[in-house]
Amino acid sequence: MTIPVQDLLAILPELVVISTACLILVLDPILAASKKDILAWLTLAALAICLGLTSSQLTGRQYAFSNLVVIDSYGAFWKLLLYIVTGLTVLLSLAYLKAEQLNIGEYYGFILLALAGMMVMVSGADLLTIYLGTELMSLSLYVMAGLKRTEARSLEASAKYFVLGAFSSGILLYGISLLFGLAGSTRLPVIAEAIATQGTGNPILSLALVLLAVGFGFKLAVVPFHMWTPDVYQGAPTSVTAFMAVASKAASFGAFLRVFVEGLGGVSADWSILFTVICLVTLALGNLVAIVQTNIKRMLAYSSIAHAGYALIGVVVAGRQGGVAASTGLASVLLYLAIYSFMTLGAFALVGMLRKEGQESEQIEDYAGLAKREPLAAFFMLVFLVSLAGIPPTAGFIGKFYIFMAAVNGGMAWLAVVAVIFAAISAFYYLRIVMVMYMREPEGSAQSHSRLETSPALSFVLACALAGVVLLGLFPNGLWSLATHAAPLLK
């Protein structure tokens, strides 16, 4: 069978990413240890090419491979965000792998394979296509979580992530099979048409809806499907944790929104109720449990769970309302996750490079007196934490503002009020770290105090993250316009 040229051109960014990943895996065994950095720059070159290719896909909408893949501005939005996050992760990893003395060249190949899966997820117009993309992403992340092969904690994180990830994949596939039995197809437009024809009272449809919510819930790390997140975030190498916390969550939300709004929009009244409950318990558990954490990676893990709850507010609004309110709710999710990516990646970058006695400084108490020893690093962390708390004039405030206004304009002011209360609670555990850095003296000898191991690559990552947090807080209109342009295509 001959594949049409236009189909190959439609997925050219994915082909570039996968080809580069294969090339890296081939070159890794034959390159000397001192030249492994070449693989990182090769990865960045591939991302730059993809950035140019995908920028041309911001307008129009076309299907490829017998309507299994859709190329539109919605998918392009997520891909551009994923390229930026992946590029910053690669630069962060250059410094982090050297600091940890990890000479693992295939690391960059697995990053690109995970990225390829994410790209398929956000461009899938068929449930099985999305499922395959999800599995490619997940399998790569399972391996990356255990790359510290000499540490039991890293291997434990990989094993836990694999077991629970496989469990969630089975549930997701079961839900897909039920929808196939109901609609006779796994393509999202056909499923939407079948729901419109058969009505919404079918118990098989309700069961499939719940199973899909559970399957995606694991990927989004929302309550009660969050149990893997703290252990995996703590045990995985910090650069991998940053990539999982940002890129994996963004891609999962991208696929999740396309499935539930484009394919299951006919039963939005049902799934909006389900996600309202999930949103509330996610906000409650994520913010309240984060308060008692003493390990900063675990605290950021629960913070990530809470931020998924904030993003779900936009999803709930889109399900409850139609027309402009739905588009605004979806656009607010896209904006929020883009902003979340910069502030979270910046925070994890600093966590990964702060060292104490040659090891990562993971305990919050290790940050005592950091403002005196590393004033610039403390300032960067201050900005990222203030943004995560949603305090103006940072981008975190803008993200929460658009999410809360979408809820108010959608007739769900009570949900916005609840979210504001939990946002106020979250300020406690974020600002506690600021207090430790600026107002507490370190204990023990001076030689054991945490210090930042800098490099040009790390400085560039922190500068980009800081610029994203500050500039998007002051000038959010450009990103909001891009988000509103992409979101209506899911109506």
pLDDT at 491: 46
Output 482 or 150, whichever has higher pLDDT.
Answer: 482
Q: Which two tokens stand for residue 109?
A: 């190949």
Supply the mean pLDDT for the chain. 88
Residue 67 CB burial class (10 angstroms; 0-12, 13-18, ≥19): middle
- Torsion, Cα of 62, 68, 211, 322 (10° steps): 20
Model pLDDT for residues 58-103, shown as the tens digit of each residue: 887 888 888 899 998 899 999 999 999 999 999 998 888 877 777 6
pLDDT at 446: 44
pLDDT over threshold 60, residue 238 = yes
C-alpha span between 258 and 45 (Å, rounded): 29
Q: Give the integer Cα–Cα distance in Å for 236 and 19.
A: 26
Cβ contacts of 342 within 8 Å, gap of 6 or more: 395, 464, 465, 468, 469, 472
Q: Amino acid letter at 95?
A: A
CA distance 160 to 248: 17
Q: How confident is the model at residue 410 (pLDDT cuts 50, 70, 90)?
A: confident
326 has a pLDDT exceeding 90: no
| Helix spans in 68-202 (H) | 73-99, 106-123, 127-145, 152-183, 188-198
pLDDT at 435: 92
Over 80: is that where the pLDDT of 33 sits? no
- Angle in degrees, CA 433, 439, 445, rounded to 5: 90
In this structure, which long-range contacts are made by residues 281-285, counting pairs with CB atoms below 8 Å and at least 24 apart in sequence?
281/223, 281/224, 282/222, 282/223, 282/226, 282/306, 282/308, 282/309, 282/312, 283/309, 283/310, 283/418, 283/419, 283/422, 284/223, 284/422, 285/223, 285/226
Adjacent-strand bridge partners of 124: 69
The average pLDDT across 29-58 equals 88
pLDDT at 202: 82
What percentage of residues in the chain have a pLDDT greater than 90?
56
Per-residue pLDDT tens over the stretch 107-145? 899 999 999 999 999 999 999 999 999 999 999 999 998
How far apart (Å, rounded) are the C-alpha atoms in residues 81 and 119? 11
d(CA 30, CA 422): 52
374-401 confidence digits (pLDDT tens): 888 889 999 999 999 999 899 999 999 9
Distant-in-sequence contacts of 418-426, Cβ < 8 A, 24+ apart: 418/280, 418/283, 419/283, 419/309, 419/310, 419/313, 422/283, 422/284, 422/287, 422/306, 422/309, 423/310, 423/389, 423/390, 425/287, 425/288, 425/291, 426/287, 426/290, 426/303, 426/306, 426/388, 426/389, 426/390
Mean pLDDT in residue range 356-382: 81
N-term to C-term CA, the chain: 35
- Three-state DSSP class for residue 57: coil
pLDDT at position 423 is 93
Instruction: Answer whether 122's CB lies under 8 Å from 258's CB.
Output: yes
- CA 274 remoteness from chain centre: 22
Q: How far apart are CA 450 and CA 359, in angstroms?
A: 9
Q: What is the structure's pLDDT at 1?
A: 59
- What is the pLDDT confidence band of residue 37, given thresholds at 50, 70 and 90? confident
Angle at 430 between CA 428 and CA 434, to 5 degrees: 105
Count CB-CB contacts under 10 A for residue 417: 12
Measured on CA atoms in the order 404, 349, 33, 155, is the torsion positive or negative?
negative
Whether 417 shows a pLDDT value over 50: the answer reads yes
Q: In this predicted model, what pLDDT tens digit does every residue of 167-200 receive, in sequence order?
A: 999 999 999 999 999 888 899 999 988 888 876 6
| Measured torsion, CA atoms of residues 446, 449, 454, 458, in degrees rounded to the nearest 10 | -170
Residue 252 confidence (pLDDT): 94
Q: How far apart are CA 40 and CA 225, in angstroms?
A: 34
Residue 476, preceding peptide bond in cis (omega within 30° of 0): no
pLDDT for residue 98: 78
Give the three-state DSSP class for 238: helix
Residue of 294, 443, 434 whose CA lies nearest to 364: 294
List Cβ<8 Å contacts ≥24 apart for 18-25.
Answer: 18/112, 18/113, 18/116, 20/45, 20/46, 20/112, 21/109, 21/110, 21/112, 21/113, 21/116, 22/109, 24/105, 24/106, 24/108, 24/109, 24/112, 25/106, 25/109
SS3 of the chain: helix, strand, coil, percent, to 5:
80, 5, 15
* Beta pairing class for 61-64 and 69-72: antiparallel
Summarize pLDDT for 97-110 with one digit per residue, the tens: 877 777 677 889 99
pLDDT in tens, 198-232: 766 788 888 999 999 999 999 999 988 888 899 99
On the question of pLDDT at 361 being above 80, the answer is no
Average pLDDT on 230-254 reads: 92
pLDDT digits (tens, 9 = 90+) for 418-462: 999 999 999 999 999 999 998 887 765 444 566 666 778 888 999
DSSP letter at 146 equals T
CA distance 87 to 8: 24
Give me the residue spans of the domains in the chain. 1-162+225-259, 264-491
Q: What's residue 203's pLDDT?
A: 87
For position 365, what pLDDT does the model report? 86
C-alpha to C-alpha distance for 114 and 239, rounded to whole angstroms = 14
